[in-house]
Amino acid sequence: MDLYTLHKAHVLTPWSAQAALNPPLIVRGEGAYLVDQEGKRYLDLTSGLVAVNLGHGHPRVVRAIQEQAQTLCYAPPSFFHDKRALLARRLSELSPWPEGARVFFTPSGTEANEDALKMVRTLTGRFKVLAAYRSFHGSTHGSSALTGENRRFAAEPAVPGALHFFAPYPYRSPFYTLDPKEEVARALDHLERVLLHEDPARVAAIFLEPVVGSNGVIVYPEGYLEGVRRIADRYGILLVFDEVMTGFGRTGAPFAAQRLGVLPDLITFAKGVTSAYVPLGGVLVREGLARRFDQEVLWAGHTYSGHPLAVAAGLAAVEAYLEEGLFERGRLLESWLKEGLGALWQKHPFIGEVRGLGAFFALELVKDRSTKEPLSPWHAPLSPAMQGLVRALLREGVYVMAKHNILIIAPPLTLKEAELEAGLAALDRALRGLEVEAG
Ligand code: PMP
């Protein structure tokens, strides 16, 4: 049996590989490229799942993992460990709070949100939590309950007390506005009404992705996050930013909180902290709040909390970001992406909107710009047109994550300009092919 058939026969794959896309069988990674079993190279324009921020095979991180594996592969989370302490100090220095932060390590982003949910309930003594409809926060029951889109349905009924609200989405306004200022005003009014109906004294926290990630890279209009912060403060509610996608340089700063200038109380992270080489996530809690856990029991913990291989990889990755100026490089990529994707928008009527921040962009594809009818419906598998586009890109040797009618363009922060140009030329041809087919 060839390896491809072997994989299909024995591995249960997630929803994203179930469409008839015949994904390639990957055996190697080199910088911005994935290499399949036949040696074909794929330029990875989404950094895996917006995670491999340093590209594949960064020597410093690989070396750190090798050295750690030779020294110690496991230490119980209740023991102290050198690299846990060193990485936690680094993360506190990188955090947006002048007071610093303490870190609770988890194996993944899902568990970071799961534990943040426990923390905000413990810290406030309240149990309700609010999150946005167009959000993803993870795949366990608590994080699914926070999630606002269809990936939560399989977990329902999930955890009681998690409620949703609409956040701004200027391209398809849930508030029927065309003006970003009006959108912000209505969205904040809506949020406060939801709160008042739920009784703010029962609400522990508001969870938000500061830039919506897998549900379309929606950059909130100016004033929204500031307004959410004000509302949270008015009612003594904690604000949690889920920076699993936006953290570690994705938006042109260590965290989006810094790029956007709004301070939450907790930040959940994963992915980019090790450039996804080893699973690691965590919750950053600002020092003033974290101190409470000196008295209060934190009923949380995982066999793999702060796994030595993971924290060694995280420490080396953070040093690489700092030394190579990669936390800021997202801003350079932003200027290239704005220009390159903007030029594609000029040419291709299937592109309804180009939006993004830092090295984090989306193309929202439509059948028709005037009606904005999506190229693939929201609560359904990828339409034949979207599947055709993804297949055409794979034939071209380009990987771009597709969800519904959204293509996410989030290349490694180390991407070279010529690599991006080649990727955008392939995208141009694939979109042209789609348009020829549609007549
Ligand atoms: N939050 C966000 C914003 C995410 O994008 C993801 C993963 N795509 C998660 C949480 C869950 O992280 P993980 O897959 O590491 O469990």
Q: What is the mean pLDDT of the chain?
A: 96
CATH number for the domain spanning 52: value is 3.90.1150.10
Any atom of ligand 1 within 6 Å of the Cβ of 275: no
Separation CA 412–CA 423 (nearest Å): 13
Q: Alpha-carbon Rg of the chain, whole angstroms?
A: 21
pLDDT at 346 over 90: yes
Q: What is the distance in A from the centroid of ligand 1 to the CA of 70?
A: 30
The total number of structural domains in the chain stands at 2
Residue owning the nearest CA to atom 12 of ligand 1? 109
* Residue 133 shares a structural domain with residue 242: yes
Residue owning the nearest CA to atom 10 of ligand 1? 137
Separation CA 96–CA 72 (nearest Å): 32
* Residue 10 shares a structural domain with residue 131: no
What is the torsional sign of CA 243, 247, 251, 256?
positive
- Predicted pLDDT of residue 13: 82
Q: Are 275 and 317 in contact (CB under 8 A)?
A: yes
- Predicted pLDDT of residue 65: 98
* Residue 176 shares a structural domain with residue 312: yes
pLDDT at 188 over 80: yes
103-112 pLDDT, tens per residue?
Answer: 999 999 999 9
* Residue 249 shares a structural domain with residue 290: yes
Any atom of ligand 1 within 6 Å of the Cβ of 137: yes
Backbone angles phi, psi at 202, to 5 degrees: -105, 0
* Residue 336 shares a structural domain with residue 309: no
Helical (H) or strand (E) element with 423: helix 417-438
Any atom of ligand 1 within 6 Å of the Cβ of 270: yes
Of 278, 301, 323, which one is at a domain's C-terminal end?
A: 323
* Residue 224 shares a structural domain with residue 369: no
User: Token pair 């030029």 is at which residue?
Assistant: 343
Ligand 1 nearest-atom number relative to CA 108: 15
Three-state DSSP state, 415: coil
Any atom of ligand 1 within 6 Å of the Cβ of 243: no
Any atom of ligand 1 within 6 Å of the Cβ of 16: no
Separation CA 399–CA 249 (nearest Å): 21
Over residues 178-184, the mean pLDDT reads: 96
Any atom of ligand 1 within 6 Å of the Cβ of 249: no
Any atom of ligand 1 within 6 Å of the Cβ of 273: no
Q: Which domain holds residue 166?
A: 61-323
Cβ density class 279-291: b for 16+ within 10 Å, e for less: bbbbbbbbeebbe
* Residue 100 shares a structural domain with residue 120: yes
pLDDT at 256 over 90: yes
Q: What is the distance in A from the centroid of ligand 1 to the CA of 330?
A: 20
* Residue type present at position 40: K
- Predicted pLDDT of residue 5: 87
Separation CA 290–CA 265 (nearest Å): 10
Over residues 274-289, the mean pLDDT reads: 98
pLDDT at 245 over 90: yes
pLDDT at 410 over 90: yes
3-state helix, strand, coil in the chain (%, to 5): 45, 20, 40
Q: What is the distance in A from the centroid of ligand 1 to the CA of 137?
A: 6
> Beta strands 41-44 and 101-106: pairing type?
unpaired
Any atom of ligand 1 within 6 Å of the Cβ of 61: no
> Beta strands 281-286 and 351-357: pairing type?
unpaired
Q: What is the distance in A from the centroid of ligand 1 to the CA of 50?
A: 10
Residues in the chain: 439
Residue owning the nearest CA to atom 16 of ligand 1? 110
- What lies within 8 Å, CB to CB, of 6 at 6+ separation is none
pLDDT at 333 over 70: yes
Over residues 205-209, the mean pLDDT reads: 99
Any atom of ligand 1 within 6 Å of the Cβ of 214: yes
Q: What is the distance in A from the centroid of ligand 1 to the CA of 427?
A: 26
372-405 pLDDT, tens per residue?
Answer: 999 998 878 889 999 999 999 999 999 999 999 9
Reported confidence tier of residue 7, pLDDT bands at 50, 70, 90: confident
* Residue 365 shares a structural domain with residue 317: no
Query: Bridge-partner residues for 267, per DSSP?
Result: 241, 284
* Residue 378 shares a structural domain with residue 350: yes
118-151 pLDDT, tens per residue?
Answer: 999 999 999 999 999 999 999 999 999 999 998 9
Ligand 1 nearest-atom number relative to CA 143: 10
- Predicted pLDDT of residue 100: 98
What is the torsional sign of CA 231, 233, 236, 239?
positive
Ligand 1 nearest-atom number relative to CA 209: 3
pLDDT at 439 over 80: no
Residue owning the nearest CA to atom 5 of ligand 1? 245
Over residues 252-265, the mean pLDDT reads: 98
Any atom of ligand 1 within 6 Å of the Cβ of 399: no
Of 307, 323, 339, which one is at a domain's C-terminal end?
A: 323
Q: Are 133 and 167 in contact (CB under 8 A)?
A: yes
Q: What is the distance in A from the centroid of ligand 1 to the CA of 179?
A: 31
* Residue 381 shares a structural domain with residue 281: no
* Residue 82 shares a structural domain with residue 181: yes
CATH number for the domain spanning 77: value is 3.40.640.10
Reported confidence tier of residue 330, pLDDT bands at 50, 70, 90: very high
Any atom of ligand 1 within 6 Å of the Cβ of 134: no
Mutate to test the pocket of ligand 1, among 241, 245, 360 (most ligand atoms within 8 A of CB): 245
- Predicted pLDDT of residue 19: 63
32-91 pLDDT, tens per residue?
Answer: 999 999 999 999 999 999 999 999 999 999 999 999 999 999 999 999 999 999 999 999
Helical (H) or strand (E) element with 426: helix 417-438
Q: What is the distance in A from the centroid of ligand 1 to the CA of 112?
A: 9
What is the torsional sign of CA 130, 161, 214, 316?
positive
Of 323, 355, 389, which one is at a domain's C-terminal end?
A: 323
Please give the sequence-ordered ranges of beta strands (E in DSSP) within 97-242, or none if there are none.
101-106, 128-132, 162-165, 203-208, 211-212, 218-219, 238-242
- Predicted pLDDT of residue 381: 83
Mutate to test the pocket of ligand 1, among 16, 144, 271 (most ligand atoms within 8 A of CB): 271
**∠ CA(350), CA(352), CA(353), 5° rounding?**
135
Helical (H) or strand (E) element with 352: strand 351-357
* Residue 305 shares a structural domain with residue 344: no
Please give the sequence-ordered ranges of beta strands (E in DSSP) within 86-176, or none if there are none.
101-106, 128-132, 162-165
Ligand 1 nearest-atom number relative to CA 270: 15
Q: How far is CA 102 from the centre of its chain?
A: 21
The percentage of the chain sitting over the pLDDT mark of 70, rounded to a whole number, equals 99
- Predicted pLDDT of residue 18: 66
- What lies within 8 Å, CB to CB, of 44 at 6+ separation is 32, 33, 34, 52, 56, 399, 411, 412
